[in-house]
Amino acid sequence: MEDHRRETHVPSFGLKEGRRAEEFAGYTILLLSLGIGVITLILGDLTVPRWLWTGVLLVWIIAVNVCISGLMGRAGELSFYLCALLTSWVLVMTTLSSGGLIVVLMMVVAAVGSYLMPMRWVLGVVLLNCLVIFGHTQVTGVELVESLVFVVFYLILHLATVFMAFATSKETQLRAQLEQKNLQLEAAAVLLEDTAASSERLRISRELHDLIGHQLTVLNLELEAAKHRDSTAARQHIDQAAEVAKGLLTDVRTTVGQLRQDSHGDLQQNLERLASAVPSLEIHIDVDPGIQTDEDVSATVVRAAQEIITNTIKHAEATELVLTVTQDNGTLTLTGTNDGTAPRNITPGHGLTGLQERLEILGGDLEIHTTPHFTIEAQLPLGRDRKLPT
């Protein structure tokens, strides 16, 4: 995608305090596994050279880290997951002592699978791990009964770990879906309030015009007719009354014109309400002061912000999002930039496609950029340059 946008401020993201609990837990377990590997390397009885065992351990760590980080597509993550699974088997089978401790690496791989694969596949991995454990006990000379006890024990640990990871994964997905629903409801509430306010302003303007405006017009006409009569003493007062009536009529017309303008609400407040509906994402709102929009543009900005936030929740794996609204040379620009993972290839889904169509109706445009951060930019013309919706 050609990058032809004007130069804009790129936000600097910091680490959000209290990053997602599942990420912290994942990296903590990875660090624990690294410690187990180091202990086994130093104290364990290995059947292969230690440099070779260390290399396999490093490959396992890299593969698991890639699966946890989510930097690859689904095909890439599954490839690295298979690599992590196979290397965990190699690490276990090449360790004669401390075998019970090194089995934790296989349990970690099984737990990571809960985030990447259907549960039936993960259970298959658990069964394969149990077969490897059984084979390891037989190779190391453990009696059959004791070997079966080991297998059952580690099977229970495997299942407990997998089900806990699966429950955490489901809870994360459900929380994201709930936040998306809350975001939709909040956006709908904002637009309904703006529409209701606009309708009320229009009603008041009609009342002012029909009741006070007509009466002032009649008063002004009566005073104009009285000025042509022969009462010299009253003429001065009539002239003053006529001036007052004209001034009142001008004020009423001005007030009616202002009330008939479409209500656009407070963009800063409306966007902050959307942000409050998504507690898991830290959203920063920055709206240039003095921006004036009509109802159509305001509604489009709200919908665009809703789509940017939804897209960030579903696809970016981000913790921070910056929404800025600027106005320059008759163009309003809404920019959304997050600190998540930027996809290599951009394929707009129904949400972004619908937003593009909504913008084009008003003569606007949508741009997507992946560097230095993933950014969605919605541009809308204001005033005379804007298309009227059909």
pLDDT digits (tens, 9 = 90+) for 38-90: 888 888 788 889 899 999 999 998 888 888 776 666 777 888 999 999 999 99
Judge whether residue 165 has pLDDT over 60: yes
Confidence of residue 261 (pLDDT cuts 50, 70, 90): low
Quick one: 25 exposed, middle or buried, by C-beta within 10 A (0-12, 13-18, 19+)? middle
Judge whether residue 262 has pLDDT over 60: no
12 located within any domain: no
> What is the pLDDT at residue 147?
84
> What is the pLDDT at residue 283?
86
Token pair belonging to 338: 């997050």
- Measured between its terminal Cα atoms, the distance across the chain in Å is 30
Which residue do the tokens 């297998």 mark?
151
107 located within any domain: yes
Residue-wise pLDDT for 288-304, tens only, equals 887 877 777 888 888 88
180 located within any domain: no
308 located within any domain: yes
Side by side, the strands of the sheet bearing 331-338 are 282-287, 320-328, 331-338, 375-381, 365-369
312 located within any domain: yes
Task: Give the other-Cβ count within 10 Å of 34's Cβ.
Answer: 16
Confidence of residue 187 (pLDDT cuts 50, 70, 90): confident
Judge whether residue 149 has pLDDT over 50: yes
pTM: 0.55
> What is the pLDDT at residue 59?
92
Judge whether residue 12 has pLDDT over 80: no
Which residue segment(s) compose the domain that 38 sits in? 21-142
Task: Give CA–CA dist 295/307, Å, rounded.
Answer: 18
Judge whether residue 174 has pLDDT over 70: yes
Give the chain's domain count: 2
1 located within any domain: no
Longest CA span, the chain: 131
Residue 228 bridge partners (DSSP):
none
> What is the pLDDT at residue 244?
65
Which residue do the tokens 């229970």 mark?
156
> What is the pLDDT at residue 168?
75
The whole-number average pLDDT for the span 159-188 is: 77
Report whether 346 contacts 374 (CB < 8 A). no
257 located within any domain: no
CATH code, domain carrying 279 = 3.30.565.10
201 located within any domain: no
Percent of residues, the chain, with pLDDT higher than 70 = 67
Task: Give CA–CA dist 126/30, Å, rounded.
Answer: 19
Q: What angle do CA 58, 63, 66 make, to 5 degrees?
A: 125
Query: Residue 80 contacts by C-beta under 8 Å, 6 or more apart in sequence?
Result: 62, 63, 64, 66, 67, 72
> What is the pLDDT at residue 230?
60
Contacts within 8 Å (CB) and 24+ apart, 67-76: 67/112, 67/115, 67/116, 68/23, 68/26, 68/27, 68/30, 68/112, 70/317, 70/341, 71/341, 74/116
- Residue 381: phi, psi to the nearest 5? -75, 150
Burial 151-182 (b: 16+ CB within 10 A, else e): beebeeebeebbeebbebbeeeeeebeebbee
The whole-number average pLDDT for the span 224-252 is: 65
- Picking from 97, 118, 142, the residue at the C-terminal end of a domain is 142
**How does the average pLDDT of the chain come out, rounded?**
76
Torsion 131-132-137-141 (CA) sign: positive
Residue-wise pLDDT for 327-371, tens only, equals 888 889 999 988 877 666 666 777 788 888 888 888 888 888 877
> Between these two residues, 180 and 253, which has the higher pLDDT value?
180
Crossing angle (nearest 10°) for helices 267-276 and 295-311 = 30
Residue-wise pLDDT for 86-130, tens only, equals 999 999 888 876 556 788 888 888 888 888 888 889 999 999 999
Torsion 41-45-50-54 (CA) sign: negative
Cα-trace Rg, the chain: 34
- Picking from 117, 142, 167, the residue at the C-terminal end of a domain is 142
> What is the pLDDT at residue 131?
92
> What is the pLDDT at residue 128?
93
Query: Residue 48 contacts by C-beta under 8 Å, 6 or more apart in sequence?
Result: 94
> What is the pLDDT at residue 232?
63
Element (H, E) at 211: none
- Picking from 142, 172, 189, the residue at the C-terminal end of a domain is 142
The whole-number average pLDDT for the span 214-237 is: 64
Q: What angle do CA 85, 88, 24 make, to 5 degrees?
A: 80
